[in-house]
């Protein structure tokens, strides 16, 4: 077994991205679960904070190298291990893929992160309904734009017929969207790509419900 440990949580979409990337590259790894809810959130524990002062998952420890930020981890895996490159080498494709992946990972996902939702209900006094509306609003805003971009880029996958970083970010975001009851019918391009990706083994094995720490009670 390789000296590679992924600190994550089954429902974390950022950890889900890294699981997909590791699987696509055929890289072995051990998983350490950091429960984001139990014990006040294990991401805030002293031990985990040493590993990542941002108190967010995932962290990948690869042969002693400690890395956080899922997109950076995936860049590292591309550079270090090659295989199917998730961020292609060609200049035009490379920046297209990076920008579309960031549309999801940087412009949608952080607004709906657990700590943001906790702040909304705690410090801002938002109701559960307000929080759900907030959550859905930012996904719908991002998906409307992504749907338009896919008109020009979509093949079997988000950008042509090769799996890319966009797909790696899309599927975890779809998981979140479904979990919070977002209506996906207005996004035919997104749905077509999602259907293709649901058939790929690396994505199947990375799914939250397949993880050792998956908890039916949430
Ligand atoms: N930009 C970071 C985001 C990491 C992140 O937001 N992780 C979430 C789970 S998806 C988390 O740990 N949330 C815990 C919290 O909000 O307290 C990445 O891509 O790795």
Q: Using one digit for the tens of pLDDT, what is the confidence trace for 108-130?
A: 999 999 999 999 999 999 999 99
Same domain, 104 and 172: yes
Q: Is the CB of 101 under 6 A from ligand 1?
A: no
Same domain, 107 and 56: no
Residue 136: give its domain's CATH number: 1.20.1050.10
Q: Which residues of 163-191 are buried (b: 16+ CB within 10 A; e: fewer)?
A: bbbbbbbbbbbbbbbeeeebeeeebebbe
**Cα(99) to centroid of ligand 1, in Å?**
19
Q: Is 97 helix (H, G, I), strand (E, B) or coil?
A: helix
Same domain, 115 and 172: yes
- Domain containing 79: what range? 4-84
- What region does 69 belong to: left with phi over 0, alpha with psi -120 to 50, or beta? left
Same domain, 102 and 192: yes
Min mean pLDDT across 81-85, 95-99, 207-211 is at 81-85
Same domain, 104 and 176: yes
Q: Which of 84, 106, 124 is the last residue of a domain?
A: 84
Same domain, 80 and 97: no
- Provide the 10 A C-beta neighbour count for residue 89: 8
Same domain, 128 and 76: no
The number of folded domains in the chain is 2
- What's the whole-number average pLDDT of the chain? 96
Residue 213 lies in a domain: no
Q: Is the CB of 57 under 6 A from ligand 1?
A: yes
Same domain, 130 and 199: yes
Q: Is the CB of 34 under 6 A from ligand 1?
A: no
Q: Which of 57, 84, 111 is the last residue of a domain?
A: 84
Q: Which of 55, 84, 113 is the last residue of a domain?
A: 84
Q: Is the CB of 153 under 6 A from ligand 1?
A: no
Same domain, 104 and 60: no
Ligand 1 pocket mutation pick from 56, 74, 168, 173 by most atoms within 8 angstroms of CB: 56
Q: Is the CB of 14 under 6 A from ligand 1?
A: yes
35 band by pLDDT with thresholds 50, 70 and 90: very high
Same domain, 142 and 197: yes
Per-residue pLDDT reduced to its tens digit, 95-107: 999 999 999 999 9
Same domain, 105 and 194: yes
Residue 212 lies in a domain: no
Residue 43: give its domain's CATH number: 3.40.30.10
- Which strands form 59-62's sheet, in the order they lie side by side? 30-33, 4-8, 59-62, 65-68
């Amino acid at each position: 077994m390789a000296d590679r440990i992924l600190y994550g949580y089954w429902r974390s979409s950022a950890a889900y991205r890294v699981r997909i990337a590791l699987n696509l590259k055929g890289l072995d790894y051990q998983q350490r679960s950091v429960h984001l809810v139990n014990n006040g959130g294990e991401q805030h524990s002293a031990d985990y904070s040493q590993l990542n002062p941002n108190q967010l998952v995932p962290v990948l420890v690869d042969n002693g190298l400690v890395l956080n930020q899922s997109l950076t981890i995936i860049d590292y895996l591309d550079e270090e291990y090659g295989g199917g490159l998730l961020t292609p080498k060609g200049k035009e494709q490379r920046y297209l893929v990076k920008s579309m992946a960031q549309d999801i990972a940087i412009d949608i996902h952080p607004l709906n992160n657990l700590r943001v939702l906790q702040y909304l209900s705690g410090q801002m006094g938002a109701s559960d309904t307000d929080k759900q509306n907030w959550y859905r609003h930012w996904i719908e805003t991002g998906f409307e734009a992504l749907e338009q971009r896919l008109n020009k880029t979509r093949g079997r996958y988000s950008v042509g017929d090769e799996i890319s970083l966009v797909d790696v970010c899309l599927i975890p975001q779809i998981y979140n969207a479904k979990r919070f009851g977002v209506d996906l019918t207005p996004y035919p391009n997104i749905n077509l790509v999602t259907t293709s990706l649901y058939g790929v083994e690396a994505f199947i094995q990375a799914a939250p419900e397949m993880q050792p720490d998956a908890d039916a009670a949430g």
